[in-house]
Amino acid sequence: MGNKAVVVGGGIGGLATAIGLRRIGWEVTVLERARVLDDAGAGISLHANGIRALDALGVGATVRAAARPQYTGATRTPRGRCLARMDGRALERALGTPIVGIPRAVLHRLLRDALPPESLVAGAEAVSVDRSVPEQPRVRLESAELDADLVVGADGVNSRLRAQLFPDHPGPAYSGSTVLRAITEGPLAMDSDFELTWGRGAEFGHIAFADGRAEWHAVLNAPEGARFPDPLAEVRRRCGGWHAPIPALLAVTRPEAVLHHDIKELVVPVPAYAVGRVVLLGDAAHAMTPNLGQGACQAMEDAAVLTAALATESTVEAALARYDTERRPRSQAVARAARQAGRMGQQLSHPAAVTLRNAAMRLAPSGVTIRAILRHADWTPPVLR
């Protein structure tokens, strides 16, 4: 088995994979098309399965130290009425860790710091992969080529590598929702670590960080490509009259800090996660809606499983076949569950349907929320030696 890998994409999944491959003795080059690593993004919640995957890769403790546990949280109506509570300490008792919140920029930096600087090449966009020599795929850049024993496609929801491997696949589809999000300018006092608020066709959520700042996001039903002259003003119009601390979060946000992206997903599952010695992971393999908070966690699982397979199987092909067998059913099931959660949560807009859902949530036993989280977060990673 050769030991030279090229990872296309320097996001969370790509960096986690590079860390794992280096841990088992592979030489790794990570190609990131962005020329400046400004770590654009807001915040992220990591469930136990994501943290466990990072533990297996050797960086879990570092990430935990920089994150804030989410012990208190709830889902509410715009007027503040509680629909369901999230008990982070119960999750910690069940799984060994609560959900944690961390700025994406901090997580990216910590993952990069676990790699030698020379392994990450910024401003390098992979154009295609030449598989004419099956045992040595060649990554073609605009002005160079790289030979490898393994190519990892971690190039996101609009993956070029996925499109090349499966030219008949329809690619990502618009979910019907768009998201505006930002990190507050400074710290502010909040009564909970994490909250979601569901209106009609709209969701507002926040994540508190260890430094006292917070990430907030507003997910709105909207036509694909819709944009607003003043995104922060639009969020104020839609959600500014909702319960505390929503007005306070918006008040300490700079207008230029607001990011706006349409949410896309792979509604049609990819038929395989590996072709020859080219493998897909993260959003390139199973882009999903954010309604379960599992997108990045599934990418971390991918990295841990791929690393373990390559460490124990006798050939790259056997390792990728094992990875595909283990990861495709689980990640695609999580993607379906996330889609369904969005339809019954943020995307629900008919008044009668919203009223019925809210009543059902208030009447549900207190353990329902915990069991729903455990369904996807209770995952045990392979052991890396």
| Structure-token pair, residue 195 | 């909250």
Confidence check: pLDDT of 384 > 90 = no
Q: Specify whether the CB–CB gap between 25 and 307 falls below 8 A.
A: no
Question: Rounded to an integer, what distance in angstroms lies between the CA atom of residue 41 and that of residue 183?
Answer: 9
| CA distances for 100 relative to 69, 71, 195, 250, 303, angstroms | 4, 9, 13, 22, 20
pLDDT confidence of residue 367? 86
Q: How far is CA 310 from the centre of its chain?
A: 23
Q: What number is the average pLDDT over the span 296-318? A: 97
Segment 345-367, tens digit of pLDDT? 999 999 999 999 999 999 999 88
Q: What number is the average pLDDT over the span 376-380? A: 97
pLDDT confidence of residue 292? 96
pLDDT confidence of residue 39? 59
Helices (H), 40-191: 48-57, 60-66, 88-95, 104-113, 160-165
Segment 13-29, tens digit of pLDDT? 999 999 999 999 999 99
pLDDT confidence of residue 366? 80
Q: How confident is the model at residue 1 (pLDDT cuts 50, 70, 90)?
A: low
Q: Specify whether the CB–CB gap between 97 and 126 falls below 8 A.
A: no
pLDDT confidence of residue 251? 97
pLDDT confidence of residue 145? 95
pLDDT confidence of residue 38? 61
pLDDT confidence of residue 314? 95
Q: Quick one: which H or E segment has residue 20?
A: helix 12-23
Task: Report the chain's mean pLDDT, rounded to a whole number.
Answer: 96
Q: What number is the average pLDDT over the span 159-183? A: 98
Identify the sign of the CA torsion 297, 279, 42, 201. Answer: negative
Confidence check: pLDDT of 258 > 70 = yes
Question: Rounded to an integer, what distance in angstroms lies between the CA atom of residue 204 and that of residue 218?
Answer: 4
Question: Rounded to an integer, what distance in angstroms lies between the CA atom of residue 281 and that of residue 6?
Answer: 13
pLDDT confidence of residue 206? 97
Domains of the chain: 4-69+99-173+265-346 (3.50.50.60)
Question: Rounded to an integer, what distance in angstroms lies between the CA atom of residue 291 and that of residue 8?
Answer: 26
Nearest to 384 by CA among 13, 20, 18, 2: 20
Q: What number is the average pLDDT over the span 104-131? A: 96
Q: Specify whether the CB–CB gap between 52 and 300 falls below 8 A.
A: no
Segment 318-346, tens digit of pLDDT? 999 999 999 999 999 999 999 999 999 99
Question: Rounded to an integer, what distance in angstroms lies between the CA atom of residue 169 and that of residue 75?
Answer: 36
Segment 62-117, tens digit of pLDDT? 999 999 999 999 999 999 999 999 999 999 999 999 999 999 999 999 999 999 99
Confidence check: pLDDT of 176 > 70 = yes
Count of C-beta atoms within a 10 Å radius of residue 180:
23
* Neighbour order of strands in the sheet with 126-130: 126-130, 138-141, 145-147
pLDDT confidence of residue 357? 96
Segment 31-76, tens digit of pLDDT? 999 887 765 679 999 999 999 999 999 999 999 999 999 999 999 9
